[in-house]
Chains A and B, each alone.
Chain A
Amino acid sequence: MSQAVRIETRGAPLARPVTRKISWAWLGLAPFFLFAILFLLWPSSSLIIGGFQDPTGNFTLKNISDLFTPSILNSYGLSIQISAVTAIAGALFGFLLAYAAILGGLPRWIRTALMTLCGVASNFAGVPLAFAFIATLGRTGFLTAFLRNTFGFDPYQVGFNLYNFWGLALTYMYFQFPLMVLIMAPALDGLKHEWREASENLGANSWQYWRYIALPILLPSLLGAMILLFGNAFGAYATAYALTGGTLNLITISIGQQIAGNVLYNPNLGYALALGMIVIMAVCIGGYTWLQSRTARWLR
């Protein structure tokens, strides 16, 4: 008994400063955490919770099951399609560009210029981008008029339409492939010259080098970049809204309509729509982070 007391009194002066030091240090992050809770965590979690509630606040899975009605599934499907198409095409084109600029044996200034242009283009999105494409490829746009007047070729006669799926995809590509270039350039730079020489030294030709070494090393970055591109297009709202005025039934457009109150149905279903988006984006970013850590581990 007396021994226990002695240990306690001995321990106390030691323990108190330690706990106080920790709590003070964490207090330094209090403003940031408060901000994150108020303007990020609470709003998103309220949507997630709302997705599982009926209008009177009781728990229900009806909203979630209602997501699987054809019109909503179409929305998700369309968003996923356009994101996948622009992610794959953007990744392909962006990779080829980055490869050309970095390993293609071109003058150094090409690379500098490309990186600057991609920095600008990947940030040039939203409403102005939509306007630029309308002015260029709209029915009376510059390129449309040029093709019609010079070659007698009207893209709109052969089924092209800027305001449908493929037109929007073409517009998204403007910020998708530069983003790919920006992500892949450091990865391509990370390919060590010695790996190529070592593989040649061991008898491999150029194709075998790409097949067995370069592509496997780049694969996590490539896939990770594609996921990021996918998420990038999936969350896009302003570009699609300004270009199609809401006629293309993307999931972001649906949520926008829900917020604006244009559709008179259950707001909790709207929360479920948002929940679905959060889930898909979380899977994307989770996958991206995982692939990143995998590459980082290799190339340490």
Chain B
Amino acid sequence: MKKTNFWAWLWIVLGAVYFFLPLYGTLDFSLREQRGILSLLAYQNVLNDPHFRNSFAFSATMAAATIVIGLLLIVPTAYWVHLRLPQARPIVEFITLLPFVVPAIVLVFGFIRIYSGPPLALTNSAETTNILLMFGYIVVALPYTYRSVDAGLRAIDVRTLTEAAQSLGAGWFTVLFRIIFPNLRVALLSSAFLTFAIVVGEFTLANLLNRPAFGPYMVLLGQDRAYEPAALSIMSFALTWAAIGLIQWFSRGAQGQGQLAGTR
């Protein structure tokens, strides 16, 4: 027993070091813009940079659009599969797994091949490129969003709930908005936070579609500054932490596996 404990502790400590050391290093580094003293100068510089504000606002807006459109697309689909078309489950699940097979870099390559010329020349204007980017984000987040919603629907047994509501005289609208959505709250919030974290930090799609998002801004800053990127890294870590923390807080009690996502 004692021996087992020793090895267990050793691995845990090693894991904790691997996890915290880069964070501590980055934090320490980010505070040393002024020689010899610790200061928040790097953070001030970042926050005062209009490019930071613009790119972050752009990415946050994109994230909001991605969440709303993505959920409007996926929740009814998953609900419909549960209720009416169980036979469609394999094909829908297969599609939701495809973004794993098609990495973001390949996906954006395909986007550019198709949408940079007629009949659907979406990349010709900033607005339509944004739409394309948003759908790209929905694709990237699709496996996580669908899984989260699907697990939520499974947990509440939609068929019985729907039938119970209908037997009490509820119409489709009431069923969806008074019964299904409130019961899916945790799943919807989880996938929303996760999508937000993914979209705000995303680099590949935004960079190659040439949009002024937060990810490309970070890379640009990293090319000619030393301390500000560290400050950005700490800030986006805090953002990830907040998103995951909120997910865990909302889904406490619920049987929730970890959320596996991110843009590598």
Contact = CB atoms under 8 A, between A and B. Distances in A.
B189 to A, nearest CB: 15
Contact of A40 (B1, B99, B203, B237): B99
Interface in B216-257: 218-219, 222-223, 226, 229-230, 232-233, 236-237, 240-241, 243-245, 247-248, 257
10 contacts: A29-B92, A39-B135, A96-B11, A115-B258, A116-B245, A122-B260, A136-B21, A235-B105, A237-B204, A237-B264
Contacts of B121: none
A256 B25 contact: no
B215 A32 contact: no
Contact of B244 (A99, A119, A133, A236): A119
A117 B217 CA distance: 27
B116 to A, nearest CB: 11
A93 B18 CA distance: 11
A40 B95 contact: yes
B7 interface: yes
Contact of B135 (A35, A124, A239): A35
A136 B22 contact: yes
B114 A42 contact: yes
B20 to A, nearest CB: 9
Nearest to A143: B25
A133 B230 CA distance: 9
Interface in A83-106: 93, 96-97, 99-101, 104-106
A40 B97 CA distance: 11
B264 A120 contact: no
Interface string B106-144: 111111111000000000000000001001101100100
Interface string B194-207: 10011001111000
Q: How large is the interface on B (under 10, 10 to 19, 20 to 34, 35 or more residues)?
A: 35 or more
A26 B25 CA distance: 54
Given A39-B139, A174-B22, A274-B106, A123 B77 contact: no
Contacts of B85: 25-26, 28-29
Contacts of A190: none
B247 to A, nearest CB: 8
Is the contact region of chain B dominated by helix, strand, or loop, or is it mixed? helix
B208 A259 contact: yes
A5 to B, nearest CB: 33
B5 A106 contact: yes
Given A123-B244, A242-B203, A114 B15 contact: yes
A224 interface: no
Contacts of A127: 201, 203, 215, 218-219, 222, 236
The interface centre, meaning the residue of A96, A118, A123, A172 with most chain B CB atoms within 10 A of its CB, is A123
Interface string A19-35: 00000011011011001
A178 B25 CA distance: 19
Contacts of B84: 25, 28
Contacts of B244: 116, 119-120, 123
A97 B10 CA distance: 9
B141 to A, nearest CB: 12
Given A182-B260, A256-B208, A46 B105 contact: no
Closest 10 CB pairs of A and B: A104-B8, A43-B110, A235-B103, A136-B25, A236-B264, A142-B25, A182-B258, A100-B8, A135-B29, A238-B203
Interface in A204-247: 231-239, 241-242, 245
Interface string A114-147: 1111111111111111111111110011110000
Contacts of A136: 21-22, 25-26, 29
A44 B110 contact: yes
A32 B264 contact: no
B104 interface: yes
Given A110-B12, A123-B240, 9 more contacts: A44-B98, A123-B197, A131-B222, A132-B23, A132-B25, A134-B230, A178-B19, A237-B105, A278-B106
A278 B98 CA distance: 10
